[in-house]
């Protein structure tokens, strides 16, 4: 009779085989077969809950006692089947997928497979009393997979929203620096903290900006806010795409997403350069890069997407240019003041 350990080892091999099939399939698929429909969120949720149930059965049975051979075979077969069905569904979602969606699908599948293998490893190594935690990890991985994107629009749209939140954080930070610099009074910390043996306050406060630095920060804030508006417009525009499965359409949006990521990185650089004491070269470099990045994004928008929102795109381009010029003007005034 086959032991539970041997059965679990065979199960692990099957899980890994299913994962390998998914990986190779996602790399190979470019077009859905005729009649193949994209999976729905409801299908995904049904399979996720089914896999969680199978993992719970294993956790319950091995947590309390040692199942019979027949029970072992049945429980492991149930887990393998649900795991295979879930990966097959993710594979179906990979038809005509762009790089962003493919990465999202793989990121959803890998933790599920790893968690299931970890659970079976506990059985294979006779650690029956320790199945509760691995079972919980299967649940966590399934819950994460249940919220994964199943189409290009959702995958790219979520990335754009994530980037927007990052830029919004930059805006909040700059606003706080400006506000604190306007209201902060000069407070000297005792010079003899170490001599008195008192605890040193590690909650450092940022140095307040000089008045001319505040003006530079305000001008830079306008540029970063314009970046956020560009990202918000891209999110709005992607929702109007009728079909986001053609190769050309996917390439357009993948390119926009690439440049949008660069905008977030440079926005962060500009925000960091605005803390006191400001370095003129750093501020100018970041501001120039951000303006260039905005121009690249706006130029990458294809005509089919630009035409319905022509006024908005032109307005944002003008806003970026004005904000950039304002930063340079403020820095010029600052340098003139310092030289007097």
Say how far apart CA 204 and CA 173 lie, in whole Å. 15
pLDDT value at residue 160: 96
pLDDT value at residue 207: 79
pLDDT value at residue 1: 44
Tell me the average confidence (pLDDT) per consecutive run of 10 residues in the chain, 340 residues long: 64 74 62 63 96 92 77 88 91 87 92 90 71 91 95 94 96 94 60 45 66 92 96 93 83 94 95 92 95 93 90 94 93 61
pLDDT value at residue 128: 55
Query: What is the reported pTM?
Result: 0.82
SS3 string, the chain, reads: CCCHHHHHHHHHHHHHHHHHHHHHHHHHCCCCCCCCCCCCHHHHHHHHHHHHHHHHHHHHHHHHCCCCHHHHHHHHHHHHHHHHHHHHHHHHHCCCCCHHHHHHHHHHHHHHHHHHHHHHHHHHCCCHHHCHHHHHHHHHHHHHHHCCCCCHHHHHHHHHHHHHHHHHHHHHHHHHHHHHHHHCCCCCCCCCHHHHCCCCCCCCCCCCCCHHHHHHHHHHHHHHHHHHHHHHHHHHHHCCCCCCCCHHHHHHHHHHHHHHHHHHHHHHHHHHHCCCCCCHHHHHHHHHHHHHHHHHHHHHCCHHHHHHHHHHHHHHHHHHHHHHHHHHHHHHHHHHHHHC
pLDDT value at residue 273: 94
């Amino acid at each position: 009779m086959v032991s539970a350990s041997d059965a679990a080892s065979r199960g692990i091999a099957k899980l890994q085989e299913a994962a390998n099939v998914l990986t190779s399939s996602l790399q190979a698929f470019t077009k859905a077969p005729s009649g193949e429909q994209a999976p729905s969120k409801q299908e995904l949720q049904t399979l996720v809950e089914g896999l969680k149930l199978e993992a719970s059965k294993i956790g319950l049975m091995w947590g309390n006692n040692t199942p019979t051979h027949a029970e072992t075979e049945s429980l492991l077969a149930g887990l393998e089947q649900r795991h295979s069905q879930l990966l097959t569904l993710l594979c179906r979602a990979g038809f005509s997928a762009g790089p962003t969606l493919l990465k999202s699908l793989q990121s959803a599948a890998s933790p599920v497979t790893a968690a299931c293998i970890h659970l079976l490893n506990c059985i294979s190594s006779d650690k029956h009393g320790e199945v509760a935690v691995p079972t919980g990890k299967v649940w966590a991985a399934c819950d994460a997979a249940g919220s994964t994107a199943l189409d290009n629009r959702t995958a790219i749209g979520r990335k754009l929203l994530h980037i927007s939140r990052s830029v919004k954080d930059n805006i909040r930070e700059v606003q706080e620096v400006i506000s604190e610099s306007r209201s902060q009074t000069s407070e000297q910390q005792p010079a003899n903290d170490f001599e008195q043996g008192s605890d040193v306050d590690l909650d450092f406060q940022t140095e307040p900006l000089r008045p001319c630095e505040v003006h530079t920060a305000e001008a830079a804030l306008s540029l970063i806010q314009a970046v956020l508006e560009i990202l918000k417009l891209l999110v709005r525009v992607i929702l109007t795409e009728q079909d986001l499965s053609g190769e050309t359409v996917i390439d357009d949006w993948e390119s926009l997403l690439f440049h949008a990521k660069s905008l977030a990185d440079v926005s962060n650089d500009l925000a960091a350069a605005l803390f006191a004491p400001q370095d003129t070269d750093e501020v100018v470099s970041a501001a120039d890069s951000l303006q260039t990045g905005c121009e690249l994004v706006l130029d990458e928008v294809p005509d089919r997407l630009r035409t319905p929102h022509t006024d908005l795109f032109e307005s944002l381009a003008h806003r970026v240019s004005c904000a950039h010029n304002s930063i340079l003007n403020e820095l010029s005034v600052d340098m003139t003041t310092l030289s007097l």
